[in-house]
Structure 1
Amino acid sequence: MSTTTTAAPRGGARVHVQKFGTFLSNMVLPNIGAFIAWGLITALFIQSGWITLIGNELFGYVPGLDPGKYDYGFVSALGGWDGEHVGIVGPMITYLLPILIGYTGGRMMYDDNIRGGVVGAIATMGAVTGADVPMFLGAMIMGPLGGWSMKKIDALWDGKIKPGFEMLVNNFSAGIWGMILAIVGFVVAGPFVQAFSDLAESVVDFLVDNSLLPLTSIFVEPAKVLFLNNAINHGVFTPLGTAEAAEQGKSILFLIEANPGPGAGLLLAYMFFGKGLARASAPGALLIQFVGGIHEIYFPYVLMKPKLILAVILGGMTGVATNLVFDSGLQAPAAPGSIIAVWLQAPASSFVGVTLSVILAATVSFLVAAFLLKIDNSDDEGDLSKATTDMEAMKGKRSSVAGALTGAGTAGKEIRSIVFACDAGMGSSAMGASVLRRKIQAAGHGDVTVVNKAISNLTDTFDLVVTHQDLTTRAQQKTPSAIHVSVDNFMGSPRYDEIVEMIDAGGAGGGAAAAAAPEAEIGSDVLAEDSIVLRGTATSRDEAITEAGRLLVAAGAVDPSYVDAMHERETSVSTHMGNLLAIPHGTNEAKGAIRRTAISFVRYPAHVDWNGKPAEFVIGIAGAGNDHLGLLSKIAGIFVDSAQVERLREAQTPGEVLAVLDSVKV
C-alpha cells in the first residue's frame, strides 16, 4: 500500500484560501436548511412558482382576506407577489437568513458561546437595515466581528466581577456593545456591502452579456479538485446568487459549482474505459456523486490522471452555457449538489434548461474523458489509493466517502506500532500516547505498541505517526512510509477513535500488553508540594509559562535558561492539550539545562487565555529521562475524567492534589 496521510500539511496559498473558504462556509452550512426552506417557498408560491402556475383557484381564498388586495389569491400572497402583501419570501431573505449567518459567525468566533452569537446577530441587524440588498456578505463580516470583539471585551474583566453582579455586567456589556456594532453596521457595513454588491452584479452582468460566464469553469473545476469548493460555492456564489435570486427569482450562479453533470460524465467514462480498481469503483462513486451530491468522490479520479481535468472543465463550461441559452437557474443553493436538490430548487420556468445543463455537461465530460482514457496507451491504471490520499491531504481530514474508492481506505494495512511525536518528545506526545494507549487497550488490541518520541529521533519504522497538526510536515519527512494523523487536541481528539477503527480494519488483535510508560512514584521529588500552586498569579499565557518554569528552577530541577526554552517551545507549537490543561516544557535542545526530572502544578481558577483556549491547570515539565512519563500517564487519566478534574478544582492543599494524582492507576 502506498504512503497514506490523513491530514494536510499546513502552509501555502491554497491552504490559506481553503481555510478562509471553510470559515465562510462554516457560517452558511449550518443554516442550509433555512436556505432550502426559503428556496422551496419561493419555488412553490411566487407568481411563477409551481403551485401558482397550476392555479390559485385550487386553493381558494382564506375567509377574511380582501380579494381586491390579494389579486393572485392566498397561495401567491405567501410569496409576496401581489404588490402590497409582504409575504414570506421577502422577510426571510432580508432578515432571517442574514441574521442566522451573523449569529452563527459570532458564536463561532466566541468559542461556540451564545453571547458571541447574540452580539453577532445584533451587529448584523445594523448592516441589514443599512442597505437595500440581501446582507449575506455584511453578515459574514459583522457576525464574526461581533463575536470576536465581545470575547475580547469579556476577557478584560474576567474573574474581576464581584459575586452577584455577573448577570448585570454581562447583559449590559452585550447590550451596549451590540448597540455600538449595530450602528457601525448601519453606517459602514451596509453601504460598503451595497457598493460591493453593485460592483459584483456589474461584473456578473458583463460576463453574461458578453457570453463569458462559461469561462469561469476554467478556474472553478480545478479549484474544486484542489478542495477549494467550499470557498468558491458558499463563500462566493451562494451570497451573490441569493441576492440575484431575490431580484430575479433565480440565479445561474447556484449551478456553476454545484452542477453534478461534469463529475457524472467523468465517472461514466471510467465505467466504460477505465482500468482496474478505478473502473470497478466508478459505478458506486457515480451513485454517491450524482444522487448523493457528494462531489468530492470524483476528485481522486482526476488527481490520478490530471489530464482529465480538461473533461470536467469543458463539461462545466457546457453546463453554464446551456443555462445562459435557456436563461435558467436555481432559486436557492443546491446543497448538497445532488440532482434531486437541483430539481427541487429549479423554478418551473427553468426546469427544462436546468435539466439540459446537467445532461449536456455530463455528455461533454463523458466524451472528452472517454477520448483521453482511450488514447492512454500506458499500462499503468493509476494509483487510486494514492490519489484518494492526496485528496484527503488537501481536505485536511479523512474523507467520509473515500472508503468507497479503495474498499476500506486504510483497511489492509496492519497497524502494530504507533508513535506520538512532538518537538521535545517528553510532554505533549507523552500525554497523547497515554490517552490513545488506553483506548487501544480497551478495544482489545494489546499487541499494538504506543510510544512517544521527539520528531528529531523518529525513524521510518512505525506504522502510524500522530503529531500536532503544525508538525505533520516535519514528521512526514522523517517517516514517509507511515500513516500520518494530525490532531489539535492531544487529550480528547476525535481522531483517536478513527485510529482505533483503522486498527480494527487492519486486523491487529490481542496479545501482550501495549507498551506503557514507566511508573513514577508520586512521593518522590518529581512533584514536590512546594511546586504546587493552587491560585496562580499569571494573567496571560507567557506569564503562566514563566510561573510554572520558575517553580522548576526553585525546586533545583532546571537551570534558569530552561524557562527561556519553555517560551521558545511555545512559539513553534502550542502546548495546550485541551480539557483546560496546558503542559509547557522546553525544547529538545534544552535538555542539557535539566538537572533532574520534575513537574510543577499551577491552578488558575479564573483561567488563562492560551492562544484563544482557556487553561485552568498548567503543568510545567522537565524530563531528564523517562521517569516522569508515569506521572504524565496519571495526569492524562485524570484529564479525560471530569470527576477527577473536579477533584483537582476543589483541592484546598497541595497534599490533596497529590492524593488525586495518586488515586489514578496506569
Structure 2
Amino acid sequence: MENSATKSSQKTLRVKVQNFGSFLSSMVMPNIGAFIAWGLITAIFLYPKGWFPNEKIASLIGPMKVYLLPMLLSYTGGQLVDDTRGAVTAIIATMGLIIGGGVAANGALDNATPMFIGAMVMGPFAGWCIKKFDNLVDGKIKSGFEMLVNNFSIGIIGMILAILGFYAIAPVMNAITNVLKDGIDWLINRNLIPLMNIIIEPAKVLFLNNAINQGIMTPIGIQQASGAAGKSILFLLEPDPGPGLGILLAYALFGKGEAKASAPSAIIIHFLGGIHEIYFPYILMKPILILATIAGGVTGTLTFSLLHVGLQAPPSPGSIISIFMMSTKSPANYIGIVIGVTLATLVSFLISAVILKRDKSVTQDLTSASAAMNQMKNQGTTNDEISEDAVEPGEYKDVDKIIFACDAGMGSSAMGASLLRDKVKKAGLNLSVTNVAISKLKDEPGLLVVTQNELAERAAEKAPHALRIAVDNFLNSPKYEEIIMNLKLRDQVEPDNSKVQKVEPQVNAEVEDLSTIKPDKIKQVIFIRHDQHVGTSTMARSLLKDKLNAADKKTGVVSVAIQDIDDVDSNLAIVTKTALSNVKSRYSNIQILAVDDLINTNVYDDLVEKLQ
C-alpha cells in the first residue's frame, strides 16, 4: 500500500513538473520566431562585429532585446491565463517592470538588463489578477456599464501592477536573475556546465526538460548573448543533436527488426529536421541506452565549453541547420560546433553499439517494445494511462475534430497530425486534424485527442470528456490505422448503437463461387499478411502463383499488410471469412473473395481460369 502511494506521489510530481515546464514552454515557443529574428539581426548587422555591419539597422537590437522580447513573453503569459484581457494587462504591468528593473537601473539600452524571467512571472500574474477581478464582478455590473467597467478595470489594475513592478518586483527579479546568471557563470568558469546534461538527457525522454530549458536556459542564455561575448553555451545544451544521433546510428548498424529498418529515416528527421522526439522510443526499447545519451551530452557540452563555443539565440527546432544559423560568424565557433557535435555523436554511438551488440534478446518490433518500456516506467498507473483507451466503434460517433497534443505543440505533434490528416483525406473522412500545446488543450465536444503515452494523464486532466488515444510515437504508430478504421465503422452503426449494419460494398464479392467477381478488371491478387499468420498468407500466395504460372497467366500475386492495400477495383483480396468484416470496414472499392481456408480450398482453379 505504501509502495503504491509512493508511486502515485512520484507520478503526481512528474505531472506537476511537466505542467510547469509546459506552461513556461507555452510562453516561449510561440515567440521563438521573434527571438530568432533578433538573433539574425544581431548576427548579420551588429556594428562592428556582424557579417554585414550596419549601424542604423543595428539600432534595432537594443529595443528588441529590452522591450519587444520580454513584452511578447508577458503578453503570451497573460493570454494563457485570461485571453486578450489578461494579455493587455500583462503588457501594461511589464512595462513598469522593464523600466524599473532594466532601463532606469542601468541608464542606457545597451546596459539595460533584459527582464525575461521577470516578464514570465509578471505576465501570468497580471492575467490572474484581471481574471480574479472579472470573476468577482461577474453578474454584478449594471446593463450599459459593461464596456466602461471592462476598459477601466484593465487600466486601473494595469497601472497598479506597473507601479508595483517598477518599485517592488523589478529589484527582486534583478536579484534572482543575477543569482542564476552568477551560478551559471560559476559552472562555466570551472568547466562544470557539462554536469547539466546528467539532468537534461533523461529529462528530454520523460518530457521534463522544458522547465529547465525554457525557464532558465533560454532567458539566461539571451542575457549572456546580449553581453560582450555575444553568444551563450546554454543554447547548445539541449538542442545538441549528437547524443540522439549516436543512438540512431547504432540502431542502424547493430539494431534488430523494425528498429534497425526505421533508424536511417529517423536520423534524417532528427539531425536535419530537429525533431528530437523521434529517438525517444529507441531509448525506451532499452532504457540503459540513456547512459549513452548522458555520456554523449556531457562530452559535447565539455567540448563546447573548452572551445568557448556558443550561439547568439536559441535554435528551434534543434536541427544542425538551425544551430549553424544561430552561430556567430567566427570560423572557430563553427569548427567548435562541428567538433562538439561529432564527439557527442561518437561517444553516444560507441556506448550504444556495445550495448546493442551484447543484446541477445529476441527481436522486438519498435512500437510494442516502446509500449512495454512505457509500462515499466509508469508502474502504478492503469493501462488506460499508458496506452490508448479501449473503445467500441460506436464511441467515435460524435468525433468531428482530431487534435494532436504534445508538450510544446510543435515538432513531432505537427508531423503526427500531418500523417493522420493524409490518412483521413485518403479515407474520404471530412474531419479537422490539427496540433496544439497540451497546455492549450480544451475539453470540447466531438474531440478526439492523440497524445504520447507520457502525456496521457495530463490530456485526461485537460480534456476529461474527450475521446483520448495515447501512442508510443507520433511519427510511427500503427494506432492511426485503428483510428481510421473505427471512424469508418461508425458510419455503419445504427442510431441506438446496438449493432453494426451489414453494408454491402457495391463491387465486393464474398462467395466462393466467384459469381460476382469481375475478372476482366483484376490486375493483382492480394493475400493479407497478418502478424500472427505470415506463413499462411505466404503459402497461399505461392500456391496461387504456381497455378497462374502453370496456366501462363500474368496476373500479379502479392502478400501485403492490410493497411497497405490500394482501394481500387483492380485489386482482388482473398481473405478468410473471419477477416471479411475487418477488410470491408476499411475498403469499399477492392474486390473481395472470402474463403473458409486460404490453403485448403478448391476455388483457386476456377479463379485462375477466369483471370486474364
Contact 2:74–2:91 (CA under 8 A) maintained in structure 1:
yes
Structure 1 residues 468, 508: CA separation in 2 closer, same or farther (over 3 Å shift)? closer
Q: Which residue of 2 aligns with 1:323?
A: 304
Q: Deviations over 1:532-553 (max 9, x none)?
A: xxxxxxxxxxxxxxxxxxxxxx
Q: Which residue of 2 aligns with 1:122?
A: 92
Q: Which residue of 2 aligns with 1:27?
A: 27
Q: Which residue of 1 aligns with 2:145?
A: 165
- Secondary structure at the counterpart of residue 336 of structure 1: coil
Separation in 2 of the partners of 1:390 and 1:515? 40
Greater share of helix: 2
Contact 1:467–1:486 (CA under 8 A) maintained in structure 2:
no
Contact 1:25–1:230 (CA under 8 A) maintained in structure 2:
yes
Q: Which residue of 1 aligns with 2:392?
A: 417
User: Any unmatched runs of 5+ in structure 2?
Assistant: 1-7, 103-112, 379-386, 403-423, 430-446, 499-612
Q: Which segment is superposed worse, 507-516 or 335-344?
A: 507-516
Residue 371 of structure 1, CA deviation: 1.7
Q: Deviations over 1:147-204 (max 9, x none)?
A: 1110110222223222322222111111010011111111222111111111112211
Separation in 1 of the partners of 2:217 and 2:186? 16
Residue 322 of structure 1, CA deviation: 1.3
Instruction: Specify which of 253, 273, 281 is matched with residue 272 of structure 1.
Output: 253
Residue 382 of structure 1, CA deviation: 6.5
List aligned pairs for 1:598-637, cutoff 5 A: none
Residue 354 of structure 1, CA deviation: 1.8
Q: Deviations over 1:301-340 (max 9, x none)?
A: 1111111111111111111111111111010001110111
Q: Which residue of 2 aligns with 1:78?
A: 57
Q: Which residue of 2 aligns with 1:94?
A: 66
Separation in 2 of the partners of 1:255 and 1:184? 36
Number of residue pairs aligned between Structure 1 and Structure 2: 420
Q: Which residue of 1 aligns with 2:328?
A: 347
Q: TM-score, structure 1 length as denominator? A: 0.57
Q: Which residue of 1 aligns with 2:406?
A: none
Q: Which residue of 1 aligns with 2:370?
A: 387
Q: Deviations over 1:598-641 (max 9, x none)?
A: xxxxxxxxxxxxxxxxxxxxxxxxxxxxxxxxxxxxxxxxxxxx
Separation in 2 of the partners of 1:392 and 1:119? 44
Instruction: Specify which of 289, 314, 317 is matched with residue 333 of structure 1.
Output: 314
Q: TM-score, structure 2 length as denominator? A: 0.62
- Secondary structure at the counterpart of residue 258 of structure 1: coil
Instruction: Specify which of 235, 258, 264 is matched with residue 239 of structure 2.
Output: 258
Structure 1 residues 265, 419: CA separation in 2 closer, same or farther (over 3 Å shift)? same
Q: Which residue of 2 aligns with 1:106?
A: 78
Q: Deviations over 1:424-443 (max 9, x none)?
A: xxxxxxxxx76349999xx8
Q: Which residue of 2 aligns with 1:37?
A: 37
Please state if 1:435 is matched with 2:398: yes
Separation in 1 of the partners of 2:369 and 2:91? 44
Q: Deviations over 1:211-249 (max 9, x none)?
A: 111111111101111111222221221111111111131
Please state if 1:219 is matched with 2:199: yes
- Secondary structure at the counterpart of residue 78 of structure 1: helix
Structure 1 residues 177, 394: CA separation in 2 closer, same or farther (over 3 Å shift)? farther
Contact 1:292–1:336 (CA under 8 A) maintained in structure 2:
yes
Instruction: Specify which of 125, 134, 139 is matched with residue 154 of structure 1.
Output: 134
Residue 486 of structure 1, CA deviation: 4.1
List aligned pairs for 1:179-190, cutoff 5 A: 179-190=159-170
Q: CA RMSD in A?
A: 3.8
Contact 1:227–1:394 (CA under 8 A) maintained in structure 2:
no
Residue 88 of structure 1, CA deviation: 1.1
Structure 1 residues 371, 138: CA separation in 2 closer, same or farther (over 3 Å shift)? same
Separation in 1 of the partners of 2:480 and 2:250? 36
Q: Deviations over 1:443-498 (max 9, x none)?
A: 899xxxxxxxxxxxxxxxxxxxx9999xx99x99xxxxxxx9847446777979x9
List aligned pairs for 1:410-559, cutoff 5 A: 417-418=392-393, 435-436=398-399, 486=460, 488-489=462-463, 502-504=482-484, 509=489, 512-514=492-494, 516=496
Please state if 1:366 is matched with 2:329: no
Q: Which residue of 2 aligns with 1:178?
A: 158
Structure 1 residues 290, 48: CA separation in 2 closer, same or farther (over 3 Å shift)? farther
Q: Which amino acid aligns with 1:78?
A: I
Separation in 2 of the partners of 1:359 and 1:500? 36
Separation in 1 of the partners of 2:70 and 2:235? 18
Q: Which amino acid aligns with 2:236?
A: L
Contact 1:276–1:381 (CA under 8 A) maintained in structure 2:
yes
Instruction: Specify which of 307, 313, 318 is matched with residue 288 of structure 2.
Output: 307
Structure 1 residues 515, 220: CA separation in 2 closer, same or farther (over 3 Å shift)? same
Separation in 2 of the partners of 1:381 and 1:170? 60
List aligned pairs for 1:229-244, cutoff 5 A: 229-244=209-224
Contact 1:467–1:487 (CA under 8 A) maintained in structure 2:
no
Separation in 2 of the partners of 1:329 and 1:264? 20
Separation in 2 of the partners of 1:331 and 1:357? 17
Determine which structure has greater relative contact order: mean sequence separation of CA pairs < 8 Å that are 6+ residues apart, divided by chain length: 1
Contact 1:106–1:148 (CA under 8 A) maintained in structure 2:
yes
Contact 2:45–2:51 (CA under 8 A) maintained in structure 1:
yes
Contact 1:232–1:257 (CA under 8 A) maintained in structure 2:
no
Residue 35 of structure 1, CA deviation: 0.5
Q: Which residue of 2 aligns with 1:293?
A: 274
Residue 379 of structure 1, CA deviation: 3.1
Q: Deviations over 1:245-278 (max 9, x none)?
A: 1113100001011111111111011100111111
Structure 1 residues 337, 189: CA separation in 2 closer, same or farther (over 3 Å shift)? same
Please state if 1:195 is matched with 2:186: no
Residue 295 of structure 1, CA deviation: 0.6
Q: Which amino acid aligns with 1:265?
A: G
Q: Which segment is superposed worse, 38-47 or 100-109?
A: 38-47
Separation in 2 of the partners of 1:102 and 1:493? 33
Q: Which amino acid aligns with 2:85?
A: R
Residue 282 of structure 1, CA deviation: 0.5
Separation in 1 of the partners of 2:297 and 2:449? 38
Separation in 2 of the partners of 1:260 and 1:227? 16
Contact 1:487–1:495 (CA under 8 A) maintained in structure 2:
no
